[in-house]
Amino acid sequence: MKTWPEQFLAAAAAMLVLTGCNKPAAGPDASADIIKVGEFASLTGSEATFGQSSHHGTQLAVDQLNAAGGVLGKKIQLLTEDNQSQAGQSATVVRKLISSDGVVAILGEVASSRSLEAAPICQQNKVPMISPSSTNPKVTETGDYIFRVCFIDPFQGTVMANFAGKRLQLKNVAILTDVKSDYSVGLTKFFKEGFLAAGGKIAVEQNYSGGDKDFNAQLTAIKAANPDGLFVPGYYTEVGLIALQAKQLNLAFPMFGGDGWESSSLVPIGGAALEGDYFSTHFSPQDTTPAVQAFAKDFLAKFHEPSDAMAALGYDSLMLLADAIKRAGTTEGTKVREALAATKDFHGATGNITIDPARNASKPAVILTITNGGFQYIETVAP
């Protein structure tokens, strides 16, 4: 057995050897015929389904662009790193993509918290970053190199207010908000503003906390106020339970909400009680627009599974980047950033995208309804 200081010295020596192994980066790839694009995604871990979908969409875009001759005559190489859906990993992999691989831009992520981890690094290194589906407004507020191709939370509130007032002809709506979630509170705020401005009335506002199982108290109060519709901007688990309990209380009016509803688990939870309810989201493969149909068909052919919103947004994030690189005529970070900021009326799989001054996408939302246990496309609402 060695003595303690000797052991310490050995460890220190090991550390020095490790540090010595570390060479400075070779810098961006000198070979001129490829454009390296970095992507960080939750390919494994708790949100793997989102990450995989998004990654498949991005991969499809790369394949299509390369088959068509690439961008600026160069092939696109997509370097994907997995962050295991874990906090702390995104910062590491994005640093690797930027400093070791020398990528020209970063794509990612679905979860806003992981995009927020990567955004300051991209901003510091002046590497443009496009988030496919982080809807939290804070993400793009990090700096002028951070963009997104999805709409932000407030927009859905406004969309549903218009939909409720114009299409459903509702006058007197009740609201049931998840006060624990930022997302839900934001949607409620903008729904209320939009709906009141259009001449509607809010019958009653009730709250719950994500994770609740019993909503009878709130629903009874809502029933007493006798509204003609119920806005529930929550997540699918609670929404399903709320629909079930509303049906038991014989509430006959329709329910509607935002993209937190979109999950394959919604209908198994809520069942027939959800029939005829509505929600807004980013994308529907049933949309008849040619761009959407082409994407849905290609995606099905390549991955043998139906496309979803995450895949379409992943696809659009790369297509938008490629478009900006083409317009910039270079892969230089500052020029690409300017081109991205100037994006106007880009035809993507999730609708026509214009980047607004806050670097968020101004684009249409789609509204779906639930019929026969499936999601049915109703209409596309322009911003």
Partner 1 sequence: MNFRHAKTILLAAWGVSLLASLAASRINPYWLYVFYDIGIGIVMAVSLNLINGYTGQFSLGHAGFMAVGAYVSAVITNQCGDLSMFAANGIFALALLAGGLSAALAGLLVGIPTLRLRGDYLAIVTLGFGEIIRVLLQNMDKVGAARGLSVMHGWTNLFWTFGLAAVTVYVVAALVNSTYGRGFMAVHDDEVAAEAMGLNTTKYKVTAFVVGAFFAGIAGGLYAHSKQFITPGGFGFMQSITFVVMVILGGMGNTIGVILAAILLTLLPEGLRMLAGIEHLAGFSANRPLSWLGETRMIIYSLLLIVLMLARPQGLFSRKRNAPVK
Identify residue 280 by its one-letter amino acid code. Answer: S
Closest CB to partner 1 among 113 and 226? 113
Closest distance to partner 1 from the beta carbon of 114 (Å): 9
Residues making contact with partner 1 (CB under 8 A):
1, 3-5, 7-12, 14-16, 18-19, 22-25, 43-44, 79-82, 84, 86-88, 91-93, 95-96, 98-101, 112-113, 116-117, 120, 136, 138, 142, 180-182
Q: Label the pairing between strands 365-371 and 374-381.
A: antiparallel
Token pair 């009335």 is at which residue?
A: 201
Closest CB to partner 1 among 72 and 79? 79
Closest CB to partner 1 among 64 and 99? 99
Closest distance to partner 1 from the beta carbon of 43 (Å): 8
What is the spatial distance between Cα 82 and Cα 93, in angstroms, rounded to a whole number?
8
| Furthest-apart CA atoms within the chain: distance in Å | 83
* Residues 202 and 174: beta-carbon distance below 8 Å: yes
Closest CB to partner 1 among 8 and 226? 8
What is the spatial distance between Cα 110 and Cα 158, in angstroms, rounded to a whole number?
22
Establish whether the linkage from the previous residue to 109 is cis, with ω within 30° of 0.
Answer: yes
Closest distance to partner 1 from the beta carbon of 35 (Å): 15
* Residues 311 and 299: beta-carbon distance below 8 Å: yes
What is the spatial distance between Cα 342 and Cα 354, in angstroms, rounded to a whole number?
8
Closest distance to partner 1 from the beta carbon of 259 (Å): 17
Residue 26 in 3-state DSSP? coil
**Rounded to the nearest 5 degrees, what angle is found at the Cα of 56, between the Cα atoms of 54 and 57?**
65
What is the spatial distance between Cα 193 and Cα 270, in angstroms, rounded to a whole number?
29
Closest distance to partner 1 from the beta carbon of 109 (Å): 12
Closest CB to partner 1 among 284 and 360? 360
Closest distance to partner 1 from the beta carbon of 268 (Å): 25
Closest distance to partner 1 from the beta carbon of 144 (Å): 16
Closest distance to partner 1 from the beta carbon of 196 (Å): 26
Closest distance to partner 1 from the beta carbon of 98 (Å): 8
Closest CB to partner 1 among 7 and 226? 7
Instruction: From residue 337, give the alpha-carbon distance in Å to each of 214, 233, 287, 340.
Output: 48, 34, 31, 5
Phi-psi region at 230: left, alpha or beta (left = phi > 0; alpha = psi -120 to 50) = beta
Indicate the burial class of 252 (C-beta count within 10 angstroms; 0-12, 13-18, 19 or more): exposed
* Residues 65 and 43: beta-carbon distance below 8 Å: no
Token pair 């939009």 is at which residue?
A: 194
Q: Label the pairing between strands 351-355 and 346-348.
A: antiparallel
